[in-house]
Chains A and B, each alone.
Chain A
Amino acid sequence: MMSFIHKRIKQKIAFSFFGLVSLIVVGILFVILGFIIFRGISVINWGFLTQMPEEGMTKGGIFPAIVGTLCLIGGSMIFAFPIGVLSAIYLNEYLKETWLKKFMRSMTNNLAGIPSIVFGLFGMALFVNKLKFGDSILAGSLTLGLLALPVIIRTTEEALKSVPDHLRIGSYALGATKLQTIRRVVLPIAAPNIITGLILSISRVSGETAPILFTVAAYFLPKLPHSMFDQAMALPYHLYVLTTSGTNMEASRPMAYGTAFVLIMIVLIANLLANAFRRYFGKRNKMN
């Protein structure tokens, strides 16, 4: 009898402990988010978002960094999104279970596991030096794009897999070709999840620092880029610079908080958006 009570008490203790740990994990998130939002929000105003940095980055705004990051997002996605989606379609809809598929899949997995600093090295060696793009938005975008590629491929593949096979077969039965089936049946159903993947990879790309260190990022450049061969500032690198190597680190603290706040907001909004998207379309698809 003792042991019965004993094992139940054990379970109570274990479950409470695990609940507590989960609470701690949630707590960690809220502490980090809360801290940055709390410190950052007072810095944020229209001027901060739209002005050039001044006086050794202790005054003014972060406008060029925002523009730079937007350019990088745009540049990397123009390149990575189509290639990623097409690759996923090829992997999931065209390839049979052959060595080629295994090889491509394992390469994609490997690519996803490569540290971002290695992407930075590669980008520098290939785009900046070999192809002579120099430190430029183009080189940075391509580097970031490669980094986002496996993310997009993976989410797209999942989206495609969630389309039930009987719909494809039904379409073939009506005489549709493979391409028609993909375009009219598969993609429309998979689209919301593919877009979710796009949003999440944008969020990822906007926060990456290591890949842009040597491919695009400018320490301080109080003007906007004019072409894709220009250097640019970027939010994550700006935050890094402000916290570790500014001329007057104490004085640029508020700016750092503001920059961190903007970064966090991008991630937060992207995640909320992705979740809302998933939920909304998930429901709609179920109803059809």
Chain B
Amino acid sequence: MTTTETINTPHVSHMHKVETFKAEAKGVNLYYKDFHALKDISLPIKTNQVTALIGPSGCGKSTFLRLFNRMNDLIDGVKITGEVMLEEQNIYRKGIVVDELRKSVGMVFQKPNPFPKSIYENVAYGLRVNGYDHKDSIDEIVERSLKQAALWDEVKDKLKKSAYELSGGQQQRLCIARALAIEPSLILMDEPASALDPLSTAKIEDLIYELKNKYTIIIVTHNMQQAGRVSDYTAFFYLGELIEYDKTKTMFINPQNIKTQNYITGRFG
């Protein structure tokens, strides 16, 4: 594990050459029935770093992201080969318990999707389904998670209110708090700000920057500026292939592949 003071900025962390991988895809292929959606992808996810996945629509970013908590398993006819490592363990090996895996991987979706329950119950959900039922400690964790998600001050007086009374941006932060409550070691974010206004987006971006201290994050985004602002590493996908992977700064200044260059500069996509 890295120590916190070394990773105040992505820049510094890179200089220290922290090479522990939180997760890693090794030669992954994924098929939706006959459709080859991910083609031989190998990609490391570095600990306490933000890795951005970019690429044109339909290139397989979401599909790749969902590999890490095995959400693709839910779809009929999906076939996966290769290995996906999380904490040095292949999460696709036999005998893995999927819901336990998912407990250690948090996910934030494109559209805010709080449950039709109270704010409190939304955050507590992950704890309850995983068998914690100690009232005091749940209270504590709910508060801590909401604070981490920079939402506590806005909702602390209406925890029993329905989550649907919050604004879109607040809902999304609630969803982040919900994911944080179960203390995942990896957080997956699929275009978490694409449905939000600029102000809310900025808040989410700040939040991601904060969370990096404790968590490893993979984020899918269509917004190049956003990728540049929040991520340390970037992977560019195109038609199911991983075209290029590098430190974000490097890739944005000096992309190796012409496709990457075209995409980043907005010539297609």
Contact across chains for A4 and B129 when beta carbons are under 8 A apart: no
Asked whether A166 is an interface residue with its Cβ less than 8 Å from the other chain, the reply is: no
Enumerate chain B residues within 8 angstroms of A286, measured Cβ to Cβ: none
Contact across chains for A3 and B130 when beta carbons are under 8 A apart: yes
Enumerate chain A residues within 8 angstroms of B99, measured Cβ to Cβ: 4, 7-8
Within 8 A of A (CB), among B109-137: 129-131
Enumerate chain B residues within 8 angstroms of A4, measured Cβ to Cβ: 97, 99-100, 130-131
Q: List 14 A-B contacts (CB under 8 A).
A: A2-B131, A3-B130, A3-B131, A4-B97, A4-B99, A4-B100, A4-B130, A4-B131, A6-B131, A7-B99, A7-B129, A7-B131, A8-B97, A8-B99
Interface string of A1-21 (1 = CB under 8 A from B): 011101110000000000000
3 smallest A-B Cβ distances: which pairs? Answer: A3-B131, A4-B100, A7-B131
Q: Give Cα A262–Cα B99 distance, bound, in whole angstroms.
A: 52
Enumerate chain A residues within 8 angstroms of B130, measured Cβ to Cβ: 3-4
Measured CB to CB, the closest approach of chain B to A192, in angstroms, equals: 26
Enumerate chain A residues within 8 angstroms of B129, measured Cβ to Cβ: 7
Enumerate chain B residues within 8 angstroms of A7, measured Cβ to Cβ: 99, 129, 131
Q: Give Cα A8–Cα B96 distance, bound, in whole angstroms.
A: 13
Measured CB to CB, the closest approach of chain A to B266, in angstroms, equals: 30
Enumerate chain A residues within 8 angstroms of B97, measured Cβ to Cβ: 4, 8
Measured CB to CB, the closest approach of chain B to A196, in angstroms, equals: 26
Number of A-B contacts (CB under 8 A): 14
Question: Could you list which residues of chain A lie within 8 angstroms of chain B, going by C-beta atoms?
Answer: 2-4, 6-8
Q: Give Cα A202–Cα B16 distance, bound, in whole angstroms.
A: 78
Within 8 A of A (CB), among B231-266: none
Within 8 A of A (CB), among B75-100: 97, 99-100
Measured CB to CB, the closest approach of chain A to B234, in angstroms, equals: 36
Measured CB to CB, the closest approach of chain A to B138, in angstroms, equals: 14
Enumerate chain A residues within 8 angstroms of B131, measured Cβ to Cβ: 2-4, 6-7
Q: Give Cα A7–Cα B131 distance, bound, in whole angstroms.
A: 8
Which residue of chain A is the closest to B133 with respect to CB atoms?
Answer: A3
Which residue of chain B is the closest to A3 with respect to CB atoms?
Answer: B131
Enumerate chain B residues within 8 angstroms of A6, measured Cβ to Cβ: 131
Q: Give Cα A4–Cα B132 distance, bound, in whole angstroms.
A: 10
Which residue of chain A is the closest to B132 with respect to CB atoms?
Answer: A3
Q: Give Cα A284–Cα B130 distance, bound, in whole angstroms.
A: 48
Q: Give Cα A125–Cα B99 distance, bound, in whole angstroms.
A: 63
Enumerate chain B residues within 8 angstroms of A2, measured Cβ to Cβ: 131
Q: Give Cα A4–Cα B99 distance, bound, in whole angstroms.
A: 9
Which residue of chain A is the closest to B103 with respect to CB atoms?
Answer: A4
Enumerate chain A residues within 8 angstroms of B100, measured Cβ to Cβ: 4
Q: Give Cα A6–Cα B99 distance, bound, in whole angstroms.
A: 13
Measured CB to CB, the closest approach of chain B to A280, in angstroms, equals: 22
**Most chain A Cβ neighbours within 10 Å, of B97, B100, B131:** B131
Which residue of chain B is the closest to A6 with respect to CB atoms?
Answer: B131
Which residue of chain A is the closest to B100 with respect to CB atoms?
Answer: A4
Q: Give Cα A7–Cα B130 distance, bound, in whole angstroms.
A: 8
Which residue of chain B is the closest to A5 with respect to CB atoms?
Answer: B97
Measured CB to CB, the closest approach of chain A to B13, in angstroms, equals: 34
Q: Give Cα A4–Cα B131 distance, bound, in whole angstroms.
A: 7
Measured CB to CB, the closest approach of chain B to A15, in angstroms, equals: 14
Q: Give Cα A3–Cα B131 distance, bound, in whole angstroms.
A: 6
Measured CB to CB, the closest approach of chain B to A148, in angstroms, equals: 37
Measured CB to CB, the closest approach of chain A to B67, in angstroms, equals: 22
Q: Give Cα A6–Cα B129 distance, bound, in whole angstroms.
A: 11
11 further A-B pairs in the complex, CB-CB below 8 A; given A2-B131, A4-B97, A8-B97? A3-B130, A3-B131, A4-B99, A4-B100, A4-B130, A4-B131, A6-B131, A7-B99, A7-B129, A7-B131, A8-B99
Q: Give Cα A8–Cα B99 distance, bound, in whole angstroms.
A: 9
Measured CB to CB, the closest approach of chain A to B194, in angstroms, equals: 27
Q: Give Cα A138–Cα B235 distance, bound, in whole angstroms.
A: 75
Which residue of chain A is the closest to B131 with respect to CB atoms?
Answer: A3
Q: Give Cα A3–Cα B97 distance, bound, in whole angstroms.
A: 13
Which residue of chain A is the closest to B98 with respect to CB atoms?
Answer: A8
Measured CB to CB, the closest approach of chain B to A65, in angstroms, equals: 47
Q: Give Cα A255–Cα B218 distance, bound, in whole angstroms.
A: 73
Q: Give Cα A2–Cα B99 distance, bound, in whole angstroms.
A: 14
Measured CB to CB, the closest approach of chain B to A2, in angstroms, equals: 8
Measured CB to CB, the closest approach of chain B to A198, in angstroms, equals: 33
Measured CB to CB, the closest approach of chain B to A259, in angstroms, equals: 44
Measured CB to CB, the closest approach of chain B to A138, in angstroms, equals: 52
Q: Give Cα A8–Cα B102 distance, bound, in whole angstroms.
A: 14
Q: Give Cα A222–Cα B72 distance, bound, in whole angstroms.
A: 66
Q: Give Cα A158–Cα B97 distance, bound, in whole angstroms.
A: 43
Measured CB to CB, the closest approach of chain A to B123, in angstroms, equals: 19
